[in-house]
Amino acid sequence: MKHIFTILLLLLPMLLLAAEKGKQPHIIFIMTDQQRADALGCMGNSAVITPNIDDIAAAGVTFVNAYSSVPSCTPARAGLLTGMAPWNHGMLGYGRVARRYKYEMPRMLRQAGYYTFGIGKMHWYPQKALHGFHGTLTDESGRVEQDGYVSDYRDWFKLQAPGKNPDETGIGWNEHRAGVYKLNENLHPTYWTGQMAVDLINNYNLDKPLFLKVSFARPHSPYDPPQRFLNQYENVKIRAPYYGSWAKKFENEAGGKDAAYGNFGQEHAINSRKHYYANITFIDDMVGKIVAALKSKGMYDDAIICFTSDHGDMLGDHNHWRKTYAYEGSSNIPFVLKWPESLPGQLKGGEYLKQVVELRDFLPTFLDFAGARIPEEMDGISVKALIENPHSEWREYIDLEHATTYSNENYWCALTDGVWKYIWFFRTGEEQLFNLEQDPGELTNLAAVEEEQIKTWQRKMVEHLAERGDGFVKNKQLVKRETTLLYSPNFPKDARSEQERITDWRSVYKGID
């Protein structure tokens, strides 16, 4: 008996370690709105001041070829929510996220034993939909899509500053103009979002893991940082926009302060970028407070911390503004992940990986870390395998697309493996081919000179679109389209009526949030 007791004592540390390794980690999912991948210090842009996000990258991994498959707010968030590719979740452009999907991130993590909470911009409909969250506190940038809706941020603002106007800065949420926030910085939505997250972490004492989504509404316009963050950029040299020769036709299409196209001058573009970067530095400051709260509560070491965005912002590249485009400024996004200390693996902190990843990969990654089953039909792939072995088998390329927005010609589908990007414009039949390693600014369209590459990517695009039928591929050839398909047949059929879909399409064509 004595020998058995001695053996148990010897085995106890090993048993405890095994139990610790099987522990579900906290998941702290931080996202921004409309942040391009190169707008981070850890992505090699020394002009952007992001020490706290850079620290997360230094403790984890940064994926340099990360994309948003449908680069505008709602379809990107549908892919993030469901772990599915655009054709399979059903949103091929900007519309309303369905009320319920077969797979939903908060609901699946809740079923896996997590306490689930969302703070900030959800961009769902109805606007206080939960999709499995135990609760949400929302900031919808003033957007009202249902009678009686007031965001939690706007109600909080009324409590803190009775009678004041939260939009006093006077810049709309689709403008390319910039200005300094006119109120106390503690009234800014960036502060509110970060502080609500800090409050939740400080109050968290449950014996179950936490899934916390923190969704900042910036740096999406308005480009409105508080003065002290703008001051940090006083002597910073900021790169001017890229101007490819192929983009000259968009130069004179200026349509006002919320234009999707146009050359407003290099000085204007750099000024907008300066304010945009300063908004990111404000977000980074709040990320630092969130990380400090996690460390203070003893949650940091056991947490996955992710940083990403729903899509990018062209910021004047190629005379384009805003998003919905296949180009890197619009579709390439941040993808930073710190894993729990207990996870064994070959990857060291601070490394960069080139495998192509997408928003759909977050849900299976979280399920994998939580020890929950990943449905076989889910399109996303867990990146946990790459952390354990960065040479693990991975997808060859990722698909991108967007239904008609801003102009008739802006209706496209693209494929990229992180080296080559092939773009097919549905309505015109135009093709673009860029070598991203040699030409990261996409200055030179190689479609007319790289014959073998064009043939290879045309074949891949045919394979990708073939399941959609003769309207997209016929006799193994890509088909030009006269009409836009905004929702695929896989969009939840009970989400809303056909008339609502038509109304959505008309609103999309005029412009999006």
User: CA 49, CA 196: separation in Å to the nearest integer?
Assistant: 23
Q: Are 31 and 68 in contact (CB under 8 A)?
A: no
Structure tokens at 118: 């969302």
User: CA 295, CA 201: separation in Å to the nearest integer?
Assistant: 10
123 a catalytic residue: yes
- Please write down the long-range contacts of 473-482, taking CB distance under 8 Å and 24 or more positions apart: 478/424, 478/429, 480/426, 480/427, 480/428, 480/429, 481/411, 481/426, 481/427, 482/427
Within 10 A of 371 (CB to CB), how many other CB atoms are there? 12
Sign of CA dihedral 44, 351, 61, 83: positive
- In the set 26, 42, 89, 123, the catalytic residue is 123
User: CA 92, CA 401: separation in Å to the nearest integer?
Assistant: 7
**Residue type for 467, please?**
E
Q: How many helices (H) and strands (E) does the chain have?
A: 14, 16
Closest-CA residue to 112 (of 21, 212, 22, 209)? 209
Structure tokens at 209: 């893991």
**CA count, 13 A, side-chain hemisphere, 6:** 3
Q: How many angstroms separate the first and last alpha carbons of the chain?
A: 71
φ, ψ (nearest 5 deg) of residue 377: -80, -5
Kindly state the DSSP code that residue 212 receives in the 8-state scheme.
Answer: E
Structure tokens at 506: 């008309």
Closest-CA residue to 290 (of 278, 305, 308)? 305
- Write the DSSP string, 282-309: HHHHHHHHHHHHHHHTT-STTEEEEEEE
CA distances (Å), origin 111, targets 60, 232, 248, 397: 27, 44, 52, 32
- In the set 73, 176, 220, 413, the catalytic residue is 73
φ, ψ (nearest 5 deg) of residue 288: -60, -40
Q: Are 153 and 139 in contact (CB under 8 A)?
A: yes
Within 10 A of 252 (CB to CB), how many other CB atoms are there? 10
User: CA 454, CA 460: separation in Å to the nearest integer?
Assistant: 10
Closest-CA residue to 240 (of 220, 266, 264)? 266
Rg (CA), the chain: 23
Active site residues: 73, 123
